[in-house]
Structure 1
Amino acid sequence: MTEFERAIDVVLAYLDAVERRDLEAAESFVGDGDLDLIFPGGRRFSSVKGALLRSSGRYARISKKITGTDAWKSEQNLRVLVTGTLAGEWRDGSAFSDVRFIDWFELHDGKILRQHVWNDTGEKLVSDMKETQQ
């Protein structure tokens, strides 16, 4: 297994643990130092727990369908890109699906240092609101 395949495996295992809300497992994939998690709207967190608590106010449940991964080396660190779609349920009980996402990770010594998250959930909320107003 290459270092790139190992990095992708770490990221996918982390995302699975986050989706299951298994804080202990998710934290086992992050480094001991400064963690930087950046979500849409510029929301920043320095812990997995903080990010999970914040998302629980937005979603009743959420899952990722992964459609692609890529990994490369940048200086001393590895970077991983994960693409796919989100599906789940908003806090009001309404369902959503096929919402695009991109997660970008930086790893050092097999541990996650940074995660940047981009997705279209905001666009989906606006679109759904417009449909209910028509």
Structure 2
Amino acid sequence: MFRHPREVTAFNAGRYAWVKKRMERLDVVPGDGTTTVYSLGTLYGAWPDGAAFEGNRYVDRFTVRDGLIVSMEVWNDSAERLLDRQGAAA
């Protein structure tokens, strides 16, 4: 679990040479005191060795309270794609 945005940036610096998002959909789910926002789409960019990639699915889930993001969860296909590149995927 990351405690600060710079920790996420440091983690991704080792995973990607660069990465960007194609946001395809935003879903907002109002709640009692909190709102949940889902961002869905794909990632594109380059791996550390410079090889390009695209179509890497992602979902980001934000919990918002009093106008502030209080938590963020991220799911994407990067780990599976990295394993596949190394010939280790099942």
TM-score strictly above 0.5: yes
Q: Does 1:116 align with 2:73?
A: yes
Deviation at 1:111, TM superposition (A): 1.1
Q: CA deviation at 1:51?
A: 1.1
More strand per residue: 1 or 2? 2
Does residue 61 in structure 1 map to residue 18 in structure 2? yes
Report deviation, 1:75. Answer: 2.0
1:85 aligns with 2:35: no
Counterpart Cα distance in 2 of 1:124 and 1:110: 35
Q: What RMSD over aligned residues (CA atoms) do the two structures have, in Å?
A: 1.1
How big is each residue's C-alpha offset from its partner over 1:42-62, in whole Å with a ceiling of 9 and x where there is no partner? xx1110111111111111100
Structure 1 runs, 4 residues or longer, greater than 2 Å off: 126-130
Structure 2-normalised TM-score?
A: 0.90
* 1:94 to 2:60 alignment: no
Return the offset for 1:74: 2.1
Deviations along 1:32-86, whole A, 9 cap, x unmatched? xxxxxxxxxxxx1110111111111111100000111110122201110010000
Alignment of 1:1-134 (within 5 A): 44-130=1-87
Structure 2: where are the runs of 5+ without partners? none
Between the two proteins, the alignment pairs up a number of residues equal to 87
Q: Identify the structure with bigger relative contact order (alpha carbons < 8 Å, sequence gap 6+).
A: 1
The separation in 1 between residues aligned to 2:9 and 2:82, in whole angstroms, is 20
Alignment deviations for residues 98-125 of structure 1 (CA, whole Å, 9 cap, x no partner): 0000000001121111000000111112
